[in-house]
Amino acid sequence: MRYLAKISYDGSKYNGFQRLNDLKSIQKTLEDTLMIMFKKKIVVKGAGRTDALVHAYMQCIHFDLDNNISPQKLKYALNRLLPGSIAVNDITLVDDNFHARYSVKEKCYEYKIYMGEKNAFLENYAYFLPQKLDIKKMRKAGNLFVGRHDFRNFVSGKRGNYESIISSLKIKKDGNFLDIEIKGKSFYKYMVRKIVGALIDVGVGRCDILDIKKALDDYEKKSQFFVAPPMGLYLVWIKY
């Protein structure tokens, strides 16, 4: 039986989603909890590998069980055993061909920038940026990312393919918060944080909109921009 679970978590308590030896991670915590429940190793597959300190309103995972347990009972039992920083919001039975990562059609990320007076309670949940931002320029720069591009100047590490499609990028101001929402299918290591960092560079005047265009068009030439810190990043939803 294959189960799809939609979970949320406070990433400030973990070293990212992916299991990393004995380090505290979301995947390891889930697998350890399932081990307690079923007395054997159960592998959890995630829709994406969020970095350390990154949060999720909705991350998706799948795992296989020999036991025929109802999704409702499974959700109840997991939430009783998991720490308060991880919540199982929904569980459904899916076809054996379903894969939490490879079946994804679209993801939505949001990055939160806080521009008000310093607030100790937001330290782990938004990037504090007291500098004045040119939001109009940031929106113009953000439009350049929409569509199919080679994102090698906005990705960390080497890979065989850097091409991806951003379907939407919106910047919304709500009081002292600036939210950058990015939708697409494939996001690579640090990709959202590097895109946001480049937009911040434009907003504070460290670079121009033309520099963003050059980094996307002339992707063979290495360009470097600010990398936004992880605590402001949230995985918002995933569509299948």
Q: Is the CB of residue 44 less than 8 Å from the CB of residue 222?
A: no
Q: Considering the entire predicted model, what is its pTM?
A: 0.95
pLDDT band at 21 (very low <50, low <70, confident <90, very high): confident
d(CA 183, CA 109): 6
Q: Is the CB of residue 17 less than 8 Å from the CB of residue 70?
A: no
What are the Cα distances from residue 16, in Å, to 23, 54, 97, 218? 9, 7, 26, 32
pLDDT band at 117 (very low <50, low <70, confident <90, very high): very high
Residues annotated catalytic, as ranges: 51
- Beta-carbon contacts of residue 103 (< 8 Å; ≥ 6 apart): 240
Give the model confidence (pLDDT) of 60-86 as tens digits.
Answer: 999 999 988 999 999 999 999 999 999
Where b means 16+ CB within 10 Å and e means fewer, 70-104 reads ebeebbebbeeebeeebebeebeebeeebebeebb
Q: Is the pLDDT of residue 22 over 90?
A: no
Give the model confidence (pLDDT) of 140-184 as tens digits.
Answer: 999 999 999 999 999 999 999 999 999 999 999 999 999 999 999
Least Cα distance to 136 among 193, 178, 194 occurs for 178
d(CA 85, CA 109): 19
Residue 7 corresponds to which amino acid?
I
Residue 67 pLDDT: 87
Average pLDDT over residues 11-20: 96
Residue 79 pLDDT: 98
Q: What is the DSSP string of 36-95?
A: HHHSS----EES--PPTT-EEEEEEEEEE-SS---HHHHHHHHHHHS-TTEEEEEEEEE-
Q: Is the CB of residue 164 less than 8 Å from the CB of residue 186?
A: yes
Give the model confidence (pLDDT) of 31-67 as tens digits.
Answer: 999 999 999 999 999 999 999 999 999 999 999 999 8
Average pLDDT over residues 191-201: 98
Q: Which domains does the chain have, with CATH numbers?
A: 2-94 (3.30.70.580), 106-239 (3.30.70.660)
d(CA 25, CA 173): 32
